[in-house]
């Protein structure tokens, strides 16, 4: 595949932004069509999430066998995961292996951040420019920029005064960090913090954990994958994948629950199921009954179950109460990991409640919160991401009539199927707002998006069509559908990043579509109806 050169610049059929799991598969699919494509990646290698999040303890919390590419049975069978929940280095090696195996490196430009992309209506092409000064023209522009790839640092007064080292889990130094014997402050208690804390406690002199909101953590019981189970999966990968895709979050078929309300059976039966799921470990903790995420009464049973576990694990009753979340379980991402609550029994760990005071300021060697000052050598911010829209809006995307995506999304990310935006022809977003995305096993969503987009582009090329674009009407109906589905669940009831609530001034809109199976069939139906809801030229 060679890039053509046009009037002093490069020209390809498709420009893809991002070389994480999504960008790699998209590139592979486009090349399989015999089209030319180029990927721009701001990092120096493939892997995305697993390139950037190198903090100690980083690993997936979807089981490795499920958190694997779906498109190639040979690939699936030849890669052997060493643990039930793979570590970051192993996930990064997997991405590198895939890029080598399918010869993808040749079409990726690294250390190149896309800054601007402009749709030129006269020639019906996208003009893209990068930080390294490259300009490229393409028929299609696909963003595979990730949902959790713009690290968020909270605004804290006098941040620059701190003279020690400051790290963000989402941008961890490649060369690693030696924290041995240090006094460390960690800000944030979400999924990354619950992984990093148990991993670093044994080597620290002291750890201060600054907690604004307590979160639910269920055990992983990580270990080797039982060989019998692995053999049974490898015997029929297609069924394994198909069955998982029938689950609302596209994973966990083997722990499928009952289509029953938790309120319709004796309380002890619900408790027994929760106990079994707790002892099994993993993200399927809330899959036992059909209303744990839709009924507040049912949800309370699961929430109280976890709180009882926290009170049992954490010896200091004041600390265990602080660690008990106040919101419904599941409306913020449930974390999976081993040893998090246990860490608070260690003598060198102090939990600091900042729910009322926040962090007032940083000193030269301290964090000041409430009435106290906490001396620290280094700080770790495990404060998450400007999720879903952050990476997209960091690029200046200009559509028809010079309208920018930033203007178009001022009130929230309006889209059709999460894949397309009206006013922005030949433009696709992978796992963006409006698609099931972060509420699913991302590999299943990525696979579905890459296949759908590549078939769409192939159909356009075969039929010699030049433009595809969502209509405003279909976009409005889709935005209503996504919020309607969410309003029947407990999801909108707390200030989560799904709603944009972790970022000051971000418009509040529940972004992901809930339910992979219904989303997948909707996309299929639209494709079969000659891309209904889209304008084709
Ligand atoms: C710590 C952590 C654990 C996770 N665990 C799971 C899990 O267990 N299961 C699960 O399903 N999901 C998990 N996720 C979500 C994870 O992001 C996805 O599973 C998946 O890796 C997303 O792949 P992606 O290619 O869409 O995005 P990413 O992996 O985020 O890749 C996007 C890439 O785009 C690049 N990029 C962004 N903007 C630009 C630009 N302007 N120019 C050039 N390049 C750009 C970025 O540098 C990045 O490399 C986790 C996320 C985190 C942060």
pLDDT tens series, the chain, 537 aa:
444 444 457 999 999 999 999 999 999 999 999 999 999 999 999 999 999 999 999 999 999 999 999 999 999 999 999 999 999 999 999 999 999 999 999 999 999 999 999 999 999 999 999 998 999 999 999 999 999 999 999 999 889 999 999 999 999 999 999 999 999 999 999 999 999 999 999 999 999 999 999 999 999 999 999 999 999 999 999 999 999 999 999 999 999 999 999 999 999 999 999 999 999 999 999 999 999 999 999 999 999 999 999 999 999 999 999 999 999 999 999 999 999 999 999 999 999 999 999 999 999 999 999 989 999 999 999 999 999 999 999 999 999 999 999 999 999 999 999 999 999 999 999 999 999 999 999 999 999 999 999 999 999 999 999 999 999 999 999 999 999 999 999 999 999 999 999 999 999 999 999 999 999 999 999 999 999 999 999
pLDDT of residue 3: 44
Instruction: Find the 24 Cα to ligand 1 centroid distance in Å.
Output: 12
Nearest to 94 by CA among 55, 61, 59, 57: 59
Q: Which atom of ligand 1 is nearest to the CA of 146?
A: 27
Q: At what angle do helices 227-235 and 237-245 cross, to 10 degrees?
A: 90
For ligand 1, say whether the CB of 43 is within 6 Å of any of its atoms. yes
Instruction: Find the 393 Cα to ligand 1 centroid distance in Å.
Output: 15
Q: Which atom of ligand 1 is nearest to the CA of 445?
A: 11
For ligand 1, say whether the CB of 384 is within 6 Å of any of its atoms. no
Instruction: Find the 22 Cα to ligand 1 centroid distance in Å.
Output: 8
User: What is the C-alpha to C-alpha distance for residues 223 and 524, in angstroms, rounded to an integer?
Assistant: 38
For ligand 1, say whether the CB of 149 is within 6 Å of any of its atoms. yes
Residue nearest to atom 7 of ligand 1 (CA): 60
Q: To test the ligand 1 pocket, which listed residue (442, 446, 448) has its Cβ within 8 A of the most ligand atoms?
A: 442
Q: Cα–Cα distances in Å, from 32 out to 27, 36, 278, 424?
A: 9, 10, 43, 25
Instruction: Find the 259 Cα to ligand 1 centroid distance in Å.
Output: 33
Place of tokens 């005071």: 357
Instruction: Find the 52 Cα to ligand 1 centroid distance in Å.
Output: 9
Q: At what angle do helices 237-245 and 442-462 cross, to 10 degrees?
A: 90
- Report the chain's terminal Cα–Cα distance, integer Å: 27
pLDDT of residue 184: 98
* DSSP notation for 453-488: HHHHHHHHHHTT---EEE-HHHHHHHHHHHHHHHHT
Instruction: Find the 47 Cα to ligand 1 centroid distance in Å.
Output: 8
Residue nearest to atom 30 of ligand 1 (CA): 146
Q: To test the ligand 1 pocket, which listed residue (149, 380, 453) has its Cβ within 8 A of the most ligand atoms?
A: 149
Instruction: Find the 390 Cα to ligand 1 centroid distance in Å.
Output: 12
For ligand 1, say whether the CB of 94 is within 6 Å of any of its atoms. no
Handedness of CA 523, 525, 528, 529 (dihedral sign): negative
Residue nearest to atom 3 of ligand 1 (CA): 60
For ligand 1, say whether the CB of 333 is within 6 Å of any of its atoms. no
Residue nearest to atom 5 of ligand 1 (CA): 60
For ligand 1, say whether the CB of 337 is within 6 Å of any of its atoms. no
pLDDT of residue 9: 77
Residue 387 main-chain phi, psi, to 5 deg: -75, 145
Are 151 and 168 spatial neighbours (Cβ–Cβ below 8 Å)?
A: yes
Handedness of CA 71, 76, 78, 82 (dihedral sign): positive
pLDDT of residue 6: 45
For ligand 1, say whether the CB of 185 is within 6 Å of any of its atoms. no
Instruction: Find the 332 Cα to ligand 1 centroid distance in Å.
Output: 19
pLDDT of residue 112: 97
Element (H, E) at 231: helix 227-235
């Amino acid at each position: 595949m060679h890039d053509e050169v046009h009037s002093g610049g490069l020209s390809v059929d498709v420009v893809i932004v991002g070389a994480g799991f999504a960008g790699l598969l998209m590139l592979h699919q486009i090349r399989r069509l015999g089209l030319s494509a180029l990927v721009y990646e701001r990092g120096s290698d493939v892997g995305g999430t697993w390139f950037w999040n190198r903090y100690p303890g980083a690993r997936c919390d979807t089981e490795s066998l499920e958190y694997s590419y779906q498109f190639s049975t040979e690939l699936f069978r030849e890669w052997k995961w060493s643990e039930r929940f793979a570590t970051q280095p192993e996930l990064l090696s997997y991405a590198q292996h895939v890029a080598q195996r399918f010869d993808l490196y040749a079409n990726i430009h690294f250390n190149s951040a896309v800054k601007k992309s402009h749709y030129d209506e006269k020639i019906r092409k996208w003009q893209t420019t990068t930080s390294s000064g490259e300009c490229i023209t393409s028929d299609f522009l696909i963003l595979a920029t990730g949902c959790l790839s713009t690290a968020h640092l909270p605004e804290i007064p006098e941040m620059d005064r701190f003279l020690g080292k400051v790290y963000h889990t989402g941008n961890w130094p490649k060369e690693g960090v030696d924290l041995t014997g240090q006094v460390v402050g960690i800000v944030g208690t979400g999924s990354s913090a619950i992984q990093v804390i148990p991993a670093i406690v044994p080597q620290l002199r002291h750890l201060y954990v600054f907690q604004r909101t307590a979160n639910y953590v269920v055990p992983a019981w990580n270990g080797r994958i039982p060989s019998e189970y692995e053999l049974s999966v490898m015997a029929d990968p297609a069924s394994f994948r198909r069955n998982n895709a029938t689950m609302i979050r596209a994973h966990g078929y083997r722990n499928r629950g009952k289509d029953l309300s938790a309120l319709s059976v004796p309380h002890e039966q619900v408790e027994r199921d929760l106990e079994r799921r707790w002892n099994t470990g993993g993200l399927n903790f809330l899959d036992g009954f059909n209303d744990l995420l839709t009924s507040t009464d049912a949800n309370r049973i699961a929430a109280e179950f976890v709180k009882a576990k926290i009170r049992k694990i954490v010896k200091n009753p004041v600390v265990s109460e602080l660690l008990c979340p106040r919101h419904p379980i599941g409306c913020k991402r449930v974390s999976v990991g081993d040893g998090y609550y246990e860490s608070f029994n260690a003598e060198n760990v102090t939990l600091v409640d900042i729910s009322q005071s926040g962090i007032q300021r940083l000193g030269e060697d301290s964090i000041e919160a409430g009435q106290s000052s906490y001396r620290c050598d280094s700080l770790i911010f495990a404060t998450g991401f400007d999720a879903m829209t952050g990476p997209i809006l960091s690029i200046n995307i200009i559509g028809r009539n010079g309208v920018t995506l930033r203007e178009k999304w001022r009130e929230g990310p309006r889209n059709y199927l999460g894949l397309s935006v009206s006013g922005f022809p030949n433009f696709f977003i992978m796992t963006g707002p409006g698609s099931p995305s972060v509420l699913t096993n991302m590999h299943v969503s990525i696979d579905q998006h890459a296949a759908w987009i590549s078939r769409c582009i192939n159909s356009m090329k075969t039929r010699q069509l030049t433009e595809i674009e969502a209509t405003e009407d279909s976009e409005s109906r889709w935005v209503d559908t996504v919020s309607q589905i969410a309003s029947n669940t407990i999801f909108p009831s707390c200030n989560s990043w799904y709603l944009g609530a972790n970022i000051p001034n971000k418009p509040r809109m529940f972004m992901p579509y809930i339910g992979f199976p219904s989303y997948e069939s909707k996309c299929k139906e639209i494709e079969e109806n000659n891309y209904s809801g889209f304008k084709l030229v």
